[in-house]
Amino acid sequence: MKIIKSINNNFAVAEDSAGNQCIVSGKGIGFGTVPREITDLGVINRTYYDVDSAYIAMINDFPDEIIDVSSKIIDYTRLVIDNPISSNIVFTLADHINFCIQRYQKHMNIKLPITNDIEFFFEKEMKIGKYGLKLIKKQLHVYLPKEEAAYIALHIINAEENFKSKEENNDDEIIEKITELIEEEYQLKINKENFNYSRFVSHMHYLLKRGKSKELLSTDNRKLYHILKEDQPLTYVCTEKVSKYFVSETGIQLTDEEKLYLMLHINRLCTREDCNQ
């Protein structure tokens, strides 16, 4: 195994004997000169193949222990379900876990009213979500509510590889237009090759699914929405424009709670380095 690029002290891009590129993890594996050969494969804890390059840079966005938890959840996933899943799921799920822990620490518990539906229709995926919560509690000492098990289940469902339908292609066009609205409002160019945009797209797909099934978020977070509205006026104006587009294009009228979550994602996307003036 040859290390060809360091990501951080514990992660690196490597090339195996067959010339296949992968991500490897291990204590101190990214430290040292590159390229270099690894003769003792025992120093490698995990190997991740077929990871999209857009997901590599964001490994530094959260602690290694969260990636470890996510990896163990996906290990369990592959034991529970037969469908193939995207190799990128370890990192998208790690990002979600990191984000939901941050929300939890800020007492921002966003409820998911379709939790019971997910548990009924996606029994295996919900089982994985519950396993994930137990693992997070055990390893990270964070106690997350049941809704987060459903969010983990949604990530697994989204990662199961299926061909896109015409409806899903139409969703992509809607998301593309929303991206243009955000770029216009913020007067910037969004880097669509980066992970931060990928997770924004994932959120928009979930939002469209909830809207079509008439299961939009409707919780006790309305007060928090109005606080954020005053604190982030530009994000609020942008969110309102996106909401109006939703109504005109899909007939979906976003609730204040959905607008709150959308504001968080827009603000997160447009205050990071992925958006270039």
**pLDDT tens, residue order, the chain (277 aa):** 899 999 988 999 999 888 899 999 999 898 888 888 887 888 899 999 988 877 887 888 888 999 999 999 999 999 998 878 877 889 989 988 998 898 888 877 766 667 777 777 788 999 999 999 999 999 999 999 888 999 899 888 877 754 445 556 688 889 999 999 999 999 989 888 777 787 788 788 878 877 777 767 665 666 787 888 888 899 999 999 999 998 898 888 888 888 888 898 898 888 754 454 4
State whether 153 and 180 are in the same domain: no
Query: For position 19, which CATH number holds?
Result: 2.30.24.10
CA distance 16 to 197: 30
pLDDT value of residue 261: 85
Q: Tell me, yes or no, whether 121 lies in a domain.
A: yes
Q: Tell me, yes or no, whether 250 lies in a domain.
A: yes
State whether 270 and 172 are in the same domain: yes
Nearest by Cα to 24 from 49, 58, 47:
47
- Could you say which of 159, 186, 204 is where a domain stops? 159
Query: 3-state class of 171 per DSSP?
Result: helix
CA distance 168 to 196: 21
pTM: 0.60
Q: Tell me, yes or no, whether 251 lies in a domain.
A: yes
Burial class (CB in 10 A: 0-12, 13-18, 19+), 28: exposed
**Phi, psi dihedral angles at 276 (to 5 degrees):** -110, 125
> The dihedral of CA 66, 77, 47, 164: what is its sign?
negative
State whether 239 and 268 are in the same domain: yes
CB of 109 closer than 8 Å to CB of 186 = no
Distances from the Cα of 59 to the Cα of 9, 24, 147, 155, 212, angstroms: 11, 12, 25, 18, 33
In sequence order, what E strands does the chain have? 2-8, 11-15, 21-25, 36-37, 46-49, 189-190, 275-276
Q: Tell me, yes or no, whether 170 lies in a domain.
A: yes
pLDDT value of residue 211: 79
Query: For position 207, which CATH number holds?
Result: 1.10.1790.10
Q: Are strands 189-190 and 275-276 parallel, antiparallel or unpaired?
A: antiparallel
Q: Tell me, yes or no, whether 129 lies in a domain.
A: yes
Q: Tell me, yes or no, whether 55 lies in a domain.
A: no
- Could you say which of 100, 134, 159 is where a domain stops? 159
Query: Which two structure tokens, joined as six digits, stand for 123?
Result: 């029994």
pLDDT value of residue 274: 47
Could you give the dihedral angle defined by the CA atoms of residues 195, 198, 203 and 205, in that order, rounded to the nearest 10 degrees?
-170
State whether 175 and 267 are in the same domain: yes
State whether 118 and 141 are in the same domain: yes
Nearest by Cα to 8 from 63, 66, 45:
63
Nearest by Cα to 181 from 226, 230, 235, 217:
235
State whether 21 and 110 are in the same domain: no
**Could you write out the DSSP letters of every residue in 26-81?**
-TTTT-S-SSEE---GGG--EEEES--GGGTGGGGGS-HHHHHHHHHHHHHHHHH-
pLDDT value of residue 155: 86
Q: Tell me, yes or no, whether 72 lies in a domain.
A: yes
State whether 171 and 269 are in the same domain: yes
State whether 73 and 152 are in the same domain: yes
Q: Are strands 21-25 and 36-37 parallel, antiparallel or unpaired?
A: unpaired
- Could you say which of 159, 185, 213 is where a domain stops? 159
Q: Cα–Cα–Cα angle for 2, 62, 185, nearest 5°?
A: 115
State whether 252 and 229 are in the same domain: yes
State whether 141 and 178 are in the same domain: no
**Structural domain harbouring 8:** 2-49
pLDDT value of residue 66: 94
Give the total number of structural domains in the chain: 3
State whether 194 and 269 are in the same domain: yes
State whether 97 and 39 are in the same domain: no
pLDDT value of residue 210: 77
Query: Which two structure tokens, joined as six digits, stand for 49?
Result: 């193949």
Query: Which two structure tokens, joined as six digits, stand for 176?
Result: 């593309």
pLDDT value of residue 168: 60
Q: Tell me, yes or no, whether 229 lies in a domain.
A: yes
